[in-house]
Every structure is written in structure tokens, then in C-alpha cells.
Amino acid sequence: MAVTLKSLTDEQKQQFAADGYIIIKGLFSPQDLSTIEKTFEDISHTVVPGYFDPDLNGEILDPLKRFPRVMHPHRFNATAKKYMLHQPVLDVLADLYGEEALAAQSMFYYKPPGSRGQALHQDNFYLKVEPGNCIAAWTAVDAANEENGGLLVVPKTNDYEIVCPETADANESFTSHFVKPPENKKAVPVIMDKGDVLFFNGNIIHGSYRNKTKDQFRRAFICHYANESATHIGEHYNPLYRADGSELELVNNPDGGPCGIHFDAAYPH
């Protein structure tokens, strides 16, 4: 059974404020997870132009060509939208924000065996939520660990400024941006059980390992949110959604940020 959380404890809120992230268990029931699994298994055999473009034919050297991430599935799939607006998740976000959350993005990662990880980066570099910040809710559809491509976070970088990224190692990362941690901080693994949800601040530096296994997918349903009082967001994330499913648009944020206006940060996170 999913746990109904009326509010987080003071200790949990303090942990999020101090470290920039927190794992919450029990927000999705086994039935919820089964529904999510089936939905994205069905999607994996299709092509959805602009959102999911797998290579369904022949022998493929890069497993991410066959199983790329699904971008914004809530825009074409009712189940994805339903779970992007999953009330237990929104309840946690309301406690972390101190106000209601607005849903801005959904994604699904298949992370097949042998696939590259994602270099360290900061989410609000892309979402550009102002005033306030984005928060991610990263749901482990499979258990996630160091072997199958689990997450890395750099604790206590939630107050670290958004920085202009360097170029990532394309042999290890499927994305091109890399943010180097401060000298006194190191990335640590986040070990998650199936169904765990990791909430993390939009400034925290994080990424993921390569999937080194031969037979394990590391599937994850990932959504990003903005605080209700935000007025601006990156143009790729409009429209946003309230808890009741109604749409709203924030002002498109063209801010060039730490890279200047000529830097292209437009690809979706």
C-alpha cells in the first residue's frame, strides 16, 4: 500500500534544506509501479515523433539508440500525466516548497544494459525557474545502484550557483554538458529500492553511472516541478500543470544565465 503523507517531518525538511535531496519511500503502490512499467513497455515498441524516436531495426551498437529517453510523455500519454500529478508526490513537494507545486516536465529513462550514464549537471540550468527553483522527483522503477547506472549526487551543492557547464566525455555520458563539483565536495552514489522517490533541488550537482550490467535495465520515471509563485521558466517547459490537471503558462525565460545569451542550452534535460 502507498503511504499517505500529510506532511514531512521537521527532520526530513531539514535534511532536504541541508543536503539538497531526500529519499521518500512508499509514495507509489506496487499496482502504480506495475501500471507505469506496462505503459512504458508499450511505448518502447513505438515511435512518437518529437518525444520518443527509437531505432527499432537491426543490430545497434549503442543501446540508447534502441532505448532513448522518453521526453514529455505527459503530452501524449494519459497515464504519464496521471503519475506526473500523483498526489502523494505533490504533497511532499508542497512541504518542500512551502506552497503548491506546478508540474513542468516528465521523462522516462529505460537505461538498458551497457548504456552510458549522464555527466554531472544542474537541472535549473535548463528549466530556468524564477523566482524560486525547480525540484525533481526521480522515481526508481527498478532498484538503482552503482552497477546498473544509479544516480550520483554531490551533497550540499543545493546552494551552489548555477554555472556554465564544460564539455562532457562522450564515451561515458550521453549528454554533452559537465559541471565540475567544488574542490571540497565529491559525488556519492544514491542507492534506491524499487519505488523509492528521490527529491532534489534544481541547483544540486548530480548525474548517473554507466549501466555496467549485462542483463539489468535501470528504469526511472522522472518529473520536474516549479513552485506555484514562480513567474518564469525555460520555453520548452510550457505549459505547466496544476494538481487538477489544468494548464497554465509562465513567462518564457530567455535568460542566458552564466553562459551568456549565445550559449545554446535549449536541449531538454
132-179, pLDDT tens digit by residue?
A: 999 999 999 999 999 999 999 999 999 999 999 999 999 999 999 999
How far apart, in whole angstroms, are the C-alpha atoms of residue 33 and residue 41? Answer: 12
Contact 227, 133 (CB under 8 A): yes
Nearest to 23 by CA among 119, 106, 92, 120: 92
Q: Give the C-alpha separation, 100 to 134, whole Å.
A: 12
User: Residue 60's pLDDT is what?
Assistant: 77
Domains of the chain by residue range: 10-56+67-252
| Identity of residue 150 | G
Q: Which tens digit of pLDDT belongs to each residue from 223-269?
A: 999 999 999 999 999 999 999 999 999 999 987 788 876 566 655 55
For residues 21-27, give the mean pLDDT. 97
Please tell me the distance from the alpha carbon of residue 173 to that of residue 13, in angstroms, as a whole number: 32
C-alpha cell recorded at residue 237: 517547459
Class of domain 10-56+67-252: mainly beta
pLDDT of residue 264: 60
